[in-house]
Structure 1
Amino acid sequence: MDWGTDLWDQYDHIEKHTQCGHDLVDRYIKFVRERTEIEQNYAKQLRSLSRKYAKRGSKEEQDCKFSNHASLQEILNELNDYAGQRELIAENMMTGICVELTKYLQDLKLERKTHLSDAKKAQQNLEFSLKNLESSKKRFAKEWAEAEKATQQAEKIENDLNATRLDVEKAKQHAHARTHTAEECRNDYAAQLQKYNKEQNFFYYSEIPQIFNKMQDMDERRIRRLAEGYCQFADIEKKVLPIITKCLDGISTAGKKINEKQDSILFIEQHKSGFERPADVEFEDYIQGIKPATSDSSLNPPKTRAKLWPFSKKNKAHAAEDFSHLPPEQRKKKLQAKIDDITKELQKTQDQSDALEKMKGVYEKNPQMGDPSSLEPQISETAQNIGRLKGELAKYETWLAEAVGREETSNAINNNSQYCVVAAEQHPNIYTEFEDEFDDVETPVGQCTALYTFEGNSEGTVSITEGEMLTIMEEDKGDGWMRVLRASGEEGYIPSSYVKLAP
């Protein structure tokens, strides 16, 4: 079954059907174009979302060392890659479906227009042939009527007794001429009829069926191409599904990488101060030695116990170059990190110096390549940088050795103190008569002057102002802090680097 055989007389329906098919292709193109816009907007919103929640800045980068923070950053990165795949889907749909189908539809429209034009032309030729047939038929009918009339007139004249022989001959010749003309019109009509029947047979059995079959083939090709476009709609997304799945797997992997124990350990390492826990509070037995208040008591104000563990929020102290304002553990970490940075920079500068020296040697051997003296400023500057970096490296290594040595000394003092306490417990009666006196009086170890103002906002610390004279009650034991007594009677810990010892 085909259009040319079964729909030979359905030109109007074929025209409407093919137009409807082209409209469907155009409709599908618009649908895919809107889908690509949705994908592009979706990808754009995903990228904005990932940027919005991505951490920036030193504080947030510090937090990213924790696995739960780092995993969120990985998830945001995977989401950004996922957005890229959505953009790829939109791009492939636009180029593979919209652009290609639009071009194909233009070719189809041109082909359809050609076939319809050929059909109309064939129809016009057949109609023109039919007009010629009708014209020859009318002419034959007219001439045949005139011939019959002339023949009847000739017979009438011949039967008229009053007519002359000349009139009879003249009437017969006129009738014969009319009859001859009628025969010619009859032959022309027969020829036109034969021609029209031949053209009509060609039109309905050959020409129109061929045109309609071509239009059928065009429409079937359109349907097949549209079906491919339908499949492309899914295949384009299927091609990126492995990458999308990989992004989603990356998100799952980021969640599984979280290690809560490791995060806790990292938090401890970042903020461990290295301070010793406070010792037990000793019992002060006033019954054995209550002394009346004297004027000398004002010289030795009662001591206030310092709380060594600052729980409350503490304002940042002024940063010292040797990080002595930090607790021991944090100071060592900062010093080591600084040493590592200086070492890397020193190695880089040394490599640069070696390269300049080699270049200078090449210039000396081959003057045409360059002037060796032009490198002298760079070589001199590099040498100065190397000297400066070596000096800084030695300085920070000295501070690190000092920090490590102080901690070891502090640990040794603490161990000795514990040993003395144990020994005192074994011989409780050795210093009984001096016990009360030592509990009430603490001997200062020196004087100092405050170089900077310090706000002691945490427990166990005390605020000081620049230029203030302070009494040292406990020296720095290697942790960067000392205990002092103010003239007002306040006592607490301050950074050792904030004061200058009195001579």
Structure 2
Amino acid sequence: MQQWGVELWDQFEPILALNRKDTACLESVYGKFMKERGEIEKEYSKKLKVLVSSYLPKESKKEKDKKDDETTQNRSFRLILQETIYQANQHEHLADIFAKEIYNSLVKKCEDYTKAAKECSKEKKKYDAEKAKSDQHLERVKVKYQRSFFDWEQAQMDYNKADASNDVSRNQIQKLAKTSDSRKNYCEQMKGDYAHELMKANETQKQYYYQYLPTVFDNLQALTVTRGNFVKETFMRGIQAEKQVVPIVVKCLEEMERCVNEIDPSQDTQLVIQRYKTGNMPPGDIQFEELMPGDTGDKYKTINKKSKSGAPQEHLYPRKRELEKKISVKEEEINKGQREIVGLRKVLETYHQNPSFGDKKAEIKIAGELEAATLKVQNMESELHTLKTDLISIENKLDAMRNRSNADTPKSGRRSASLSDRGSVGYGTISNSSNSSEQDTDSLGGKRGAAPVGSRWDDDIHSDGGSSNSDGSSFPPPPENFGVARALYDFMGEEESNISMRSGEEFHVTELDVDGWTKVLRMDMAQEGYVPTSFLEFLH
């Protein structure tokens, strides 16, 4: 590589000015670029976070509880927003590197290189002063030599002129000869001094042009190379920082892609079912309500309203989901309490094994805390047992409903009218009473659940000693193949077709489940009506 000290020995000032200009670029150009680049990255990161925050509002406690029922579409979008936040964090990291670390290093190096250039300029001035001093000394010696030579030459001319003249005395001539010799000797001395100083000046000049000045130029060249390498490393540092961020950003994009691929509309439809399913059954067929002569308009309105009313809805699925959440929370609390009990027991054992470890009051305090924690866990376990019992009961009801949903839908008119209407003339369903008058005549004895007055059932009941109402009307015996059921819970019958029951009370089953309702007859055969099937336990 060519050296500046050899090739540019006479161009110090332009080279120094160029060096100062390039050094100033570290801060004014490169530093400014890095700082502005960092500000752009920071602004981009900030805007990304603002964008995400506008689409990801703060969640309430109720919304957090619903995350288990979150659709794949909503979950994917939420995760994409999270990955966007991670991307924003990477750009914020780049902003710190560009605007702070790299910019500050450029400013510091600019100061260092400026200082080094000043040192080179200072050395150049020092060497220039030494050379100027040597040149000045040589010039003074040279002037003395010239003056002595001219004086000797004049004295020699005076001597020669006097020696050639006859008017000058011999003594005068000898005196001029001595003066000439004296000045000649002084001139020779000055000549020697001049020669000596000239050698020294040449040596100094040689050192200046071949040693000192090249050193200064080489230092400037090395400073320029060092500065260039630093600029190179600085740019490479920014590039490497971006390259390190790129895999993370790519990973975020891959995670976003995975989230998008996990969107499952079919699964979301099932989540909608789980979220809004109540477990209630659709209402059964509308009963045929027969009007009798003398019924008023109010009676018609009551019948019409009762015909439109469905079975009571229990909303079992929401209750089941709520119980499962409560059980999960309670189990976590119990596990936490059990860990606390284990820790207190270890501390108490430590006190028992090492009585000198603590005082008696501390031991009594720990024992009290252990007893309180144990009692608390026992209470929570009792509450957990109650919750699980309620959950099992609801699951049994849901199982019964699922079993019923697998059965065929009963024909219209399965649910019969009240017991007092069973023996009335013309009793029947919409399907068998909306026909011609001939069909109405057949309904007196040919339809299920209708028995004409004075039929064989009445004869059988009276002949067998069966029970009867206070007004003398008798009930048909319950079918034996339907068995007996016991009430699991209390039930208040609000509709005319329902009957009330208390937990533990037993009934004859006169009609199996239809739309979640079973028809039963009291054991004393005093009242018959519908009760919820899920409230019954079938004995035999």
TM-score by length of 1: 0.71
Unpaired segments of 5 or more residues in structure 2? 430-494, 501-528, 535-540
* Residue aligning to 2:320: 332
Partners of 2:270 and 2:334 in 1: CA distance: 32
Larger Rg: 1 or 2? 2
In the TM superposition, what is the alpha-carbon distance from 1:265 to its structure 2 partner? Answer: 0.6
More displaced stretch, 57-66 vs 73-82: 57-66
2:426 alignment partner, SS class? helix
- Specify whether residues 477 and 253 from structure 1 end up closer, same or farther in structure 2 by C-alpha distance, changes over 3 A only: farther
* Residue aligning to 2:282: 277
- Specify whether residues 162 and 149 from structure 1 end up closer, same or farther in structure 2 by C-alpha distance, changes over 3 A only: same
* Residue aligning to 1:61: 64
Residue correspondence of structure 1 range 22-41 to structure 2 within 5 A? 22-26=23-27, 27-41=29-43
* Residue aligning to 1:84: 89
- Specify whether residues 479 and 23 from structure 1 end up closer, same or farther in structure 2 by C-alpha distance, changes over 3 A only: farther
TM-score by length of 2: 0.67
- Specify whether residues 431 and 397 from structure 1 end up closer, same or farther in structure 2 by C-alpha distance, changes over 3 A only: farther
Q: Does the 8 Å CA contact 1:410/1:478 hold for their aligned counterparts?
A: no
* Residue aligning to 1:190: 195
CA offset digits 1:127-166 (Å, max 9, x no partner): 2222223222323333333333333334444555554444
Q: Relative contact order, CA 8 A, sep 6+: which one is greater?
A: 1
1:421 is matched with which residue: 385, 392, 414?
A: 414
* Residue aligning to 1:381: 372
- Specify whether residues 442 and 423 from structure 1 end up closer, same or farther in structure 2 by C-alpha distance, changes over 3 A only: closer
Residue 170 in 1 paired to residue 172 in 2? Answer: no
AA in 1 matched with 2:245: V
AA in 2 matched with 1:28: Y
1:274 alignment partner, SS class? coil
Q: Does the 8 Å CA contact 2:286/2:308 hold for their aligned counterparts?
A: no
Residue correspondence of structure 1 range 240-389 to structure 2 within 5 A? 240-281=245-286, 291=293, 294=296, 297=299, 303=305, 306=308, 327-370=315-358, 372-389=363-380
1:421 alignment partner, SS class? coil
* Residue aligning to 2:386: 395
AA in 2 matched with 1:140: Y
* Count of aligned residue pairs for this structure pair: 429
Partners of 2:107 and 2:136 in 1: CA distance: 43
2:305 alignment partner, SS class? coil
* Residue aligning to 1:19: 20
Q: Does the 8 Å CA contact 1:82/1:247 hold for their aligned counterparts?
A: yes
CA offset digits 1:329-383 (Å, max 9, x no partner): 1112212322332233234323433443444344234322345422232123223
* Residue aligning to 2:445: none
2:372 alignment partner, SS class? helix
* Residue aligning to 1:147: 152
- Specify whether residues 326 and 71 from structure 1 end up closer, same or farther in structure 2 by C-alpha distance, changes over 3 A only: farther
Residue correspondence of structure 1 range 420-459 to structure 2 within 5 A? 421=414, 433-435=426-428, 442=496
CA offset digits 1:466-491 (Å, max 9, x no partner): xxxxxxxxx996699xxxxxxxxxxx
Alignment RMSD: 4.1
In the TM superposition, what is the alpha-carbon distance from 1:384 to its structure 2 partner? Answer: 2.9
Partners of 1:91 and 1:283 in 2: CA distance: 81
Q: Does the 8 Å CA contact 2:36/2:99 hold for their aligned counterparts?
A: no
AA in 2 matched with 1:345: E
More displaced stretch, 11-20 vs 394-403: 394-403
In the TM superposition, what is the alpha-carbon distance from 1:266 to its structure 2 partner? Answer: 0.9
1:278 alignment partner, SS class? coil
Unpaired segments of 5 or more residues in structure 1? 311-324, 447-474, 481-503
Q: Does the 8 Å CA contact 1:407/1:478 hold for their aligned counterparts?
A: no
* Residue aligning to 1:124: 129
Q: Does the 8 Å CA contact 1:126/1:199 hold for their aligned counterparts?
A: yes
Identity of aligned residues (%): 25
- Specify whether residues 110 and 326 from structure 1 end up closer, same or farther in structure 2 by C-alpha distance, changes over 3 A only: farther
Partners of 1:3 and 1:411 in 2: CA distance: 97
Partners of 2:298 and 2:38 in 1: CA distance: 91
Residue 232 in 1 paired to residue 234 in 2? Answer: no
- Specify whether residues 117 and 404 from structure 1 end up closer, same or farther in structure 2 by C-alpha distance, changes over 3 A only: closer
AA in 1 matched with 2:59: R
